[in-house]
Structure 1
């Protein structure tokens, strides 16, 4: 596959050829949802150097990729290990620089810091700088360089590891801070298990996951530590970093280390605290780290920041499913528990799969899915059909090519992760533990368990099924809130009698197998129902806890397009529950 075709395939854009110039095609972002789904509303330009730019004249989706040196984001990465410097320079001026910052010569030597000269792109000259080696498992993985004027650079294509990664220890607390000097400051105060990210804190919201890649490298070690003490800087970027770290590793075991404030002056970080207040105060800051938040006991002040964020539109925002008509009935917020039901073979799993692919395209969301009834290979084939907009198997419509299939799997490989056990039926605890690893390692924000009856349902003799289901839902909701994930649970309805005209009845949330708690405790409840006689599928939101921002209970009509193996919602088909047109 050429660089140009790879760049296009990565974004779901298919052209008849890849010649330089202007092209027209359908839009992977909106065409499947339109009445005129074959309208070639996407303009694509391939430039002489292979770069591609595009713009949709219907939905406004635009972007660019390719060109010289382009590498698809799905490409398997290789890392360069820097060579060790023989006889590194540690002049008195080096130790003097750290002494002014409260860091002893012994700690400088412990971390292997040295002085060197490197070219910096910010100033376009070679400058004196400090070198911070990133060691892990006895090997040098990266070196970060810093000038006196706080210009930074790293080695080319380094492996994403934490600074001081070997200090992560099973059963011990781990402090995560924002920079190498802060790690060394904690070491001066006697703390052994401290790491930092190589790229610090974000200055604004990011779509890229690059900053957090060390969490994927070290996820096996991170899940075994006792507590995570987050000691990022006391400013807005530091708070954004703290929130994302807590989401990934689980808020239930996170504590926030806050630096002291004197009057109107807030101490920014660990090194500033060490210099201005001394070792004992820094130790007190760690000892007084606050739970995230104190479990079960809160005052209004605990939520002041969250409330102000909601007021200013910065809080958790309802997210589109990618079905614009369905958004009137249902949107979701990370942290919610969503119950989905429908009579077998009415399309509920396929609807969730299409939402997964669409949200991965819209917002680069990542999904972890447990779907043993479908089978892993069949499930991947279904997802490939949705991504490519072509059938997987031979039939009345042309099936996808082997190249299309490879492109689909490579794209999905970065965004969809499969949960499952071959040797046993997994319990909910087993599934949520694997889901937690997916959050830490890959930044997953959606968990699908499809269906509930494939989860091990062994329970103590004195525990009724209703009580068991209630506890299971509570575990899922705690996981969702701690990790900022939406948990989607598919539940089959109980056996229902057909209506007088021979049709299957529309199940409600109180018709689900196991317990009425599926209706009572869910944040949202969806029903997928297929009217075979009229070849129409309804997606019905039976319950929406956060009205109206997450929609209002109602039904939306869908058509399944066999040619592209996707659902399409009918424009203006939303009807409130109980209305004449409602399902």
Structure 2
């Protein structure tokens, strides 16, 4: 992904071309590009290194200014760092992958709080109890409303996205002043324009405390923890582009660690480092008198949150306990919507599931039915249906969401809005290479927190059906990416059986290399009983037809489940009206709905 580190590296690799583009009136002098100043007039004062390990480094000797080519881009073009990044990407020909359909959320802008600059209790509390300097209070535009501290969450352009208030007393918790506000970081109003390093904290006062040490800081809006608590990343993803180093200084507790892991995994482990503090948070460091040099040393000693290596068995105690005794708020994996399976089959993080069967037996349709239910369970799914246009996929999912064959315009809009909470679609029909597809998936994982990915199908990944070596390589790439990102990938792979009457596909029936099935964590076979369908159509009476319909028309075979105890077959009944599958022939039980009845009308 083309974050600031990658853009800076690419610019340095083309240092002479960049120098000529930004400063066309200069000239080459040995291993440097020489010009008078960042304004571009002829001269010798400013030099840009064109090769070697210093390629792209520049300095202007008259002013003392120096930096890399992104700094030079800002100075020469008179633009902000964010704008310089955007222009540099365009110049380099880097295009960000964007989903066809992304989750949308309508946010409300809060009314401006009725407050003023702190002059009494708020000012006394922040300065005397929390040791925050008056100039820092002013820089962050902190407000006072009686005994309440007002923390304004301002965007870089000055827009008020959110505000929080709390009593000026220890033990109080800040709360939003208005509902349904956009989750953004606190502190952009105090961010130096040229800053390329930032500290992320777990509270507004901690951001003020780092600033008191002269270090740029932003605070997360909703504290520690992972998952939904870090939804701010969606809103701030592009704005965080500008930072080469992100120091994560969340609290030194379990929730702070969970937040650090989530933030680093989505913003990039290569530029995120965990800060270990001698006290619970930055404000305790400030109150206890830690000097600036000690805080700078904490940053210097910050470590990358690299993937874990060898561990002791006891290090996994909590995770093993969770597998045996899941907490009510824990998410071991996502279920299918079929009651007969229940928790017997779970789609867990860091696993790949193969869905197989002959063409037309319903693999993609059952997966679509599951995706709707997964969204209802809280999953965020990214679908790459290389065999079907997104609009066609959404037509089917609308029926499965609403539960009727011909939904009204109101119901269609309601279904699409409901799907927005957890569905992205990659608009590409045809063949797609694994590398390009994983770039799209990485973006969806990083920005939107997608935790399940669907590829339909293996034959559309640009691998020849007879090239078993290439198929094996493609599977290895998918599995490696799945493990590295702790997500679940569903891959549709056709069965090699051509005889439609030969029964339910097993692990050895997948078309292609043997390694395809061997490297999958789960294998699910789908078989449609076409002979029974013909018998139903030919039934001489309603009684005979009803008797035949008591038998399932589809068999779902859990042929392999590496991390589960269940393997076996269940029957499914297809509901032609809703395109849903049910695990009972009793139609009174066919009432699975995701929209309130009023919205589904």
Higher relative helix content: 2
* Cα distance in structure 1, aligned partners of 2:352 and 2:585: 27
1:565 Cα deviation after fit: 2.0
Give the unaligned 5+ runs of structure 2. Answer: 1-102, 534-552, 587-601
Which range moved further: 283-292 or 484-493?
Answer: 283-292
Tell me which residue corresponds to 2:280. 268
- Which of 144, 149, 152 is the matching residue for 2:164? 144
Tell me which residue corresponds to 1:287. 300
* 1:40-439 pair list within 5 angstroms: 77-80=106-109, 82-83=111-112, 88-89=117-118, 94=123, 97-98=126-127, 100-114=129-143, 116-117=144-145, 127-141=146-160, 142-149=162-169, 150-157=172-179, 158-165=181-188, 167=191, 172=196, 174-192=198-216, 194-201=217-224, 209=228, 211-222=229-240, 225-226=243-244, 228-246=246-264, 248-249=266-267, 254-260=272-278, 267-276=279-288, 277-300=290-313, 302-310=315-323, 312-314=325-327, 317-327=332-342, 330-361=345-376, 363-391=377-405, 399-421=406-428, 425-439=431-445
Which range moved further: 426-435 or 518-527?
Answer: 426-435
The 3 A distance-change label for structure 1 pair 169 and 479 is farther
- Which of 576, 581, 589 is the matching residue for 1:567? 581
Q: RMSD across aligned C-alpha pairs, in angstroms?
A: 3.7
* 1:519-558 pair list within 5 angstroms: 519-535=517-533, 536-548=553-565, 552-558=566-572
1:172 Cα deviation after fit: 4.9
Tell me which residue corresponds to 1:473. 475
* Cα distance in structure 1, aligned partners of 2:206 and 2:516: 47
Tell me which residue corresponds to 1:517. 515
How far does the alpha carbon of each residue in 1:262-310 deviate from its partner, in whole angstroms, 9 at most, with x for none? Answer: xxxxx21122133334434433433333443445444446545434544
Please say if residues 493 and 511 of structure 1, whose CA atoms lie closer than 8 Å, have aligned partners that are also in contact: yes
Please say if residues 357 and 527 of structure 2, whose CA atoms lie closer than 8 Å, have aligned partners that are also in contact: yes
Flag the structure with larger Rg: 2
* Cα distance in structure 2, aligned partners of 1:299 and 1:291: 20
1:179 Cα deviation after fit: 0.8
TM-score of the aligned structures, taking structure 2 as reference length: 0.66
The 3 A distance-change label for structure 1 pair 403 and 152 is same
* Cα distance in structure 2, aligned partners of 1:440 and 1:169: 25
Give the unaligned 5+ runs of structure 1. Answer: 1-73, 118-126, 261-266, 392-398, 459-463, 573-583
How far does the alpha carbon of each residue in 1:502-554 deviate from its partner, in whole angstroms, 9 at most, with x for none? Answer: 72564444443443222122111111121211242111122111132xxx221
TM-score of the aligned structures, taking structure 1 as reference length: 0.68
The 3 A distance-change label for structure 1 pair 213 and 318 is closer
* Cα distance in structure 1, aligned partners of 2:459 and 2:194: 34
* Cα distance in structure 2, aligned partners of 1:318 and 1:86: 46
Please say if residues 251 and 483 of structure 1, whose CA atoms lie closer than 8 Å, have aligned partners that are also in contact: no
* Cα distance in structure 2, aligned partners of 1:296 and 1:173: 28
* Cα distance in structure 2, aligned partners of 1:439 and 1:162: 20
* Cα distance in structure 1, aligned partners of 2:494 and 2:192: 43
Tell me which residue corresponds to 2:452. 446
1:373 Cα deviation after fit: 1.0
